[in-house]
């Protein structure tokens, strides 16, 4: 019972709060800051703590090797979503998840275990897709947006994110490859994109997506850090040091956020 509560209820509550905070920050301060803050490691921390507790730090270290590659797929997922969002949210969801499922299945079958190869795929995805959004599509970030927050709106935001992430955390503790894939299931990305499109339109969502791609380096720094630090320092210290590293990376990204249009 305790394990179920820790692997479902806690992720639900934390992820709900995270998405609420992300969307409010984005609307108060624009997509540049909101998108970058939204990519701070969150569900990946919860997922890998439980993976390490249940199956050991070496298993968790092996499982995280696939995470950078999967994040590259998530970035492509964002590109498909914001491209199709100009048609409809339904088409955007169906199209992006079909692509995500196909690419993630291929990744599962080839079972990448080398984190350096995985990281190269991630970097390549970031460079190509950011270049496309920045210079080909010329997507611009959005400034402050004033919104009246009702209790119902906040509850719906949190519930949507919480359900998706609670499911993804429960599914993460399987094989090493599946653990890595589901630990960064595009739950917050999906819920944030839906909220942005519904309330502010596809242009705002595209600006948010670009910033989230730009800021994904913080999650990658966390993943790479626990890959090397878990076997050496264990779960608590390894997670703490890794989060400090990712937070430092986020600060650097925020310093350079002015370079994003």
Cα torsion through 35, 36, 40, 44, rounded to 10 = 50
Average of per-residue pLDDT across 85-98: 94
Cβ burial, residue 1 (10 Å; 0-12/13-18/19+): exposed
Helix (H) or strand (E) holding 243, with range, is helix 217-255
In a domain, residue 95? The reply is yes
In a domain, residue 137? The reply is yes
In a domain, residue 18? The reply is no
| Domains identified in the chain, total number | 1
72 vs 14: which has the higher pLDDT? 72
Residue 186 has pLDDT above 60, yes or no: yes
In a domain, residue 151? The reply is yes
In a domain, residue 251? The reply is yes
In a domain, residue 7? The reply is no
In a domain, residue 114? The reply is yes
Give the pLDDT band of residue 5 (cuts 50, 70, 90): low
pLDDT of residue 146: 54
Tens of pLDDT along 99-151?
999 999 999 998 788 999 999 999 999 999 988 888 888 777 665 555 555 66
Tens of pLDDT along 150-166?
667 667 777 877 777 67
pTM of the model: 0.83
Residue 22 has pLDDT above 80, yes or no: no
In a domain, residue 16? The reply is no
Tens of pLDDT along 194-216?
878 887 888 888 888 888 888 88
Q: Write out the residue range of the structural domain in which residue 57 sits.
A: 24-259
């Amino acid at each position: 019972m305790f394990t179920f509560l820790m692997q479902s209820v806690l992720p639900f509550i934390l992820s709900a709060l995270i998405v609420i905070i992300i969307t409010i920050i984005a609307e108060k301060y624009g997509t540049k800051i909101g998108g970058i803050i939204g990519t701070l490691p969150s569900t990946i921390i919860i997922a890998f703590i439980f993976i390490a507790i249940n199956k050991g730090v070496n298993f968790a270290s092996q499982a995280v090797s696939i995470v950078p590659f999967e994040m590259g797929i998530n970035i492509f997922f964002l590109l498909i979503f914001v491209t199709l969002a100009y048609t409809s949210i339904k088409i955007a969801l169906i199209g992006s998840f079909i692509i995500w499922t196909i690419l993630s299945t291929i990744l599962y079958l080839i079972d990448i275990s080398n984190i350096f190869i995985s990281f190269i795929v991630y970097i390549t995805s970031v460079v190509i897709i950011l270049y496309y959004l920045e210079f080909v599509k010329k997507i611009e970030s959005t400034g402050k947006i004033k919104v009246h927050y009702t209790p119902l709106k906040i509850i719906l935001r949190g519930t949507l994110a919480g359900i998706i992430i609670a499911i993804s955390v429960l599914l993460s503790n399987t094989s090493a490859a599946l653990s890595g894939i589901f630990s960064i299931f595009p739950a917050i990305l999906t819920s944030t994109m839906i909220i942005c499109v519904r309330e502010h339109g596809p242009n705002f969502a595209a600006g948010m997506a670009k910033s989230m791609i730009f800021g994904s380096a913080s999650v990658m720094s966390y993943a790479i850090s626990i890959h090397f630090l878990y076997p050496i320092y264990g779960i608590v210290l390894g997670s703490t040091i890794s989060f400090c590293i990712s937070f430092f990376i986020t600060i650097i990204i925020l310093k350079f956020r002015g370079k994003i249009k």
